[in-house]
């Protein structure tokens, strides 16, 4: 299957489909024409004017007033890429690197960047052949574009740096030679077009958003199993309660729980307790607020992935080249910090439900084993969840609240959006682990309610889970079961 890059609206759902179904990418005819038109205009502009054009005939950052001769313009762009490849730390996961290639090509395709058609097509070649540049997570301030990580993404186009290909990390030059591909020779402005932009933070953001949407639905499913296993009440999920507050996510969550628990013998039986703890009773309000945040962040990131975000911006039809700031990550940095909080809250309330399930309340055995004392049972999985939740709280400190000037003060306010993005990614993975631990506990607790049954939907979930994770009769090594729980959630 082929997705043609064009000016058509690109949705997050479409991005997910392209990634999960292994689409190939190609330029549409209109995208190719736009790219070529802008390139031709920029070449003429560089020849016809003696006025300096930032990044085209000048140096970069605080060197913007240093002019560069016409015979050195290509070298200027290659020097930019090499000197800016200063990333460090952990490698960027392969799927996010692949998304970076896609989103960079998408941004260049609008015809405001001055890239060569051949350069954009080489990005697509890398995507289509799973030739993934080695990129590092640390090094970007999220303001003058994601300079360091995008430089690492760009190096292999020039036959420099490293790529992961065929399951091994190899020199890019070696892989290009093997495939019979000549390294790209950058033309004026192209290094800036490739390095200025938000594709590193946007790729982490989009990947995390996709994952957050799945986690939101999974939190409802796991929470519903916990509610039934804890002998919780369904009344707090009634429509009349939520219609008089009417937050969209709150209503959606309450309705989802009623659907999930429809037909449950446990939820329908008379209760001796008047109300449930907040971690059960306030699920619509908490899960719902996270849903609303996810929807807001999706609107922000959708705008971003449909944008040209490099600098300077070239407008061929208006005969103008504008040095501005579309590379500044503030719009998505704030949103990603917000999403990190919303996702962390799904884990925060999940861990509290886990704690209640092992507490020995409502006729459930202490630590969810038949013989507590001899067996510690599910005591320590809750510790693990609490530890992860605590780490998430630290990660939720907003990166976008910080700014450190750079480039001799020329770049004097930065978004730190790259840090917001990588922190968000960690929060998302952490929350998945916490929900997996809750599911481990909820499935165990539900079996202590037999012979009563939960709803068909929850029993089906439980049966599928039991094919991966067993009931725990006596103490055994637990960490493989937690890993199996994580894999199970990813399969939903």
Give the active site residues.
Answer: 54
CB-CB contact of 131 with 162 (8 Å): no
Q: DSSP for 261-283?
A: TTT-HHHHS--SSS---HHHHTH
- Asked if 81 and 154 touch (Cβ cutoff 8 Å), the reply is yes
Ordered strands of the 162-165 beta sheet? 132-133, 162-165, 168-171
- Residues 96 and 143: beta-carbon distance below 8 Å: no
Q: Which residues pair with 5 in a beta bridge?
A: 27
Structure tokens at 2: 């082929």
The 10 Å CB-count burial string (b at 16+, else e) for 402-427 is ebeebbeeebeebbbbbbbbbbbbeb
Widest distance between CA atoms in the chain: 86
Query: Do 454 and 266 form a contact (C-beta atoms < 8 A)?
Result: yes
Rg (CA), the chain: 26
**Which phi and psi angles does 335 have, rounded to 5°?**
-65, -40
Helix (H) or strand (E) holding 66, with range, is none
Given a contact cutoff of 8 angstroms between Cβ atoms, the answer to whether 116 and 39 are in contact is: yes
């Amino acid at each position: 299957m082929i997705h043609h890059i064009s000016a058509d609206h690109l949705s997050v759902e479409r991005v997910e489909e392209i990634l999960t179904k292994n689409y190939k990418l190609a330029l549409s005819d209109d995208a190719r024409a736009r790219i070529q038109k802008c390139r031709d205009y920029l070449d003429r502009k560089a020849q016809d004017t003696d006025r300096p054009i930032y990044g085209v005939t000048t140096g970069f950052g605080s060197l913007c007033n240093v002019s560069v001769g016409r015979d050195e313009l290509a070298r200027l762009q290659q020097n930019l890429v090499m000197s800016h490849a200063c990333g460090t730390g952990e490698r960027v996961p392969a799927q996010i690197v692949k998304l970076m290639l896609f989103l960079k090509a998408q941004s260049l395709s609008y015809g405001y960047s001055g890239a060569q058609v051949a350069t954009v097509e080489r990005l697509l070649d890398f995507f289509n052949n799973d030739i993934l540049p080695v990129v590092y997570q640390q090094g970007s301030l999220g303001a003058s574009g994601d300079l360091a990580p995008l430089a690492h993404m760009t190096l292999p186009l020039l036959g420099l740096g490293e790529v992961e290909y065929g399951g091994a990390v190899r020199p890019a030059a070696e892989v290009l030679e093997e495939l019979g591909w000549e390294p790209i020779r950058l033309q004026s402005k192209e290094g800036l077009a490739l390095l200025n932009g938000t594709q590193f933070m946007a790729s982490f953001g989009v990947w995390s958003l996709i994952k957050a949407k799945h986690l939101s639905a999974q939190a409802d499913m796991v929470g519903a199993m916990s509610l039934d296993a804890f002998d919780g009440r369904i009344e707090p999920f009634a429509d009349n309660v939520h219609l008089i507050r009417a937050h969209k996510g709150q209503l959606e969550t309450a309705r989802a729980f009623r659907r999930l628990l429809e037909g449950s013998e446990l939820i329908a039986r008379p209760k001796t307790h008047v109300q449930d703890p907040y971690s059960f009773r306030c699920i619509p309000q908490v899960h719902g607020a996270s849903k609303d945040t996810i929807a807001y962040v999706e609107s922000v990131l959708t705008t971003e992935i449909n944008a040209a975000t490099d600098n300077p911006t070239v407008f061929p039809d208006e005969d103008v080249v504008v040095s501005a700031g579309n590379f500044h990550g503030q719009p998505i940095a704030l949103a990603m910090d917000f999403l990190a909080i919303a996702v962390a809250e799904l884990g925060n309330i999940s861990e509290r439900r886990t704690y209640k399930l092992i507490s020995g309340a409502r006729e459930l055995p202490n630590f969810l084993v038949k013989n507590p004392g001899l067996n510690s049972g599910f005591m320590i999985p809750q510790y693990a969840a609490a530890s992860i939740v605590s780490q998430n709280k630290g990660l939720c400190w907003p990166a976008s609240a910080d700014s450190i000037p750079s480039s001799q003060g020329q770049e004097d306010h930065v978004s730190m959006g790259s840090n917001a993005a990588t922190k968000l990614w960690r929060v998302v993975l952490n929350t998945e682990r916490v929900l997996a631990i809750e599911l481990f506990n909820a499935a165990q607790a539900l079996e202590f309610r037999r012979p009563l049954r939960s709803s068909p939907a929850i029993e089906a979930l439980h049966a599928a889970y039991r094919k991966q994770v067993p009931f725990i009769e006596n103490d055994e090594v637990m960490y493989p079961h937690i890993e199996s729980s994580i894999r199970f959630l990813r399969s939903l």
